[in-house]
Amino acid sequence: MNSRQNPSMRCVGEYPFGKSFCGVHHSSFRIHHSPSAFVLLEVLVSLTILSVSLVMVLQSFTNSMKASRHSRNLTVATTLARGLLEKWELTPPPKGESRGDFGLLYPGFSYNVNHRTETVDYEGVPRMVEAGRLVELRRVSLGIWYAPERNTKRDAPKKLLQVETALTGSERFTFGARISNKIGFED
């Protein structure tokens, strides 16, 4: 077929020995792909997207488990701190710095407490100061710590809670109620 037979075809070049390769239109140089090549490329792209999304889901699951564990430990620490403070309202801890743990019921949990007394300066109340009827204020600084049972470098003890409070010397219960309920008395 030559360019005279089909006017849309024109001669685009020659071979080295003078033969022309007319009849090849320049726009007909198209690469024809087989359908299986596109399928393979689509499978590779979809596998990449799937693997990235799977990694993100697993990472999200791991983070939510860590947050749940921390929330549980913080709730336990808050409950333990409340129990200690209620106990110390009746029988205060020893003055100064002390440490302790919560035994076998709460393994891994421990506390440190700094207890000091302060005399409150009541301005304008000279008669009560002279009579010595003012009550000292007991300052308590309580820290709750948690160290997992398998204590590695990564799982070093962590401070979960710090409470700064003051306990007054006023009684929560009357003396009669304490006797009848055996509150604050050693057996």
Segment 89-148, tens digit of pLDDT = 777 788 899 999 998 899 989 999 999 888 776 666 655 555 555 667 788 999 999 988
Angle at 175 between CA 172 and CA 176, to 5 degrees: 115
Q: What CATH number is attached to the domain comprising 131?
A: 3.30.1300.30
Shared domain check, 48 and 3: no
Shared domain check, 25 and 49: no
Count how many residues are written for the chain: 187
Would residue 2 be called left, alpha or beta, if left means φ above 0 and alpha means ψ between -120 and 50 degrees? Answer: beta
- Helix, strand, or coil (residue 139): strand
Shared domain check, 56 and 11: no
Predicted TM-score of the model (pTM): 0.59
Contact between 54 and 47 under an 8 Å Cβ cutoff? The reply is no
Angle at 132 between CA 131 and CA 136, to 5 degrees: 155
Q: pLDDT digit string (tens) for 73-91?
A: 999 999 999 999 888 877 7
Q: Whole-angstrom Cα distance, residue 51 to residue 112?
A: 47
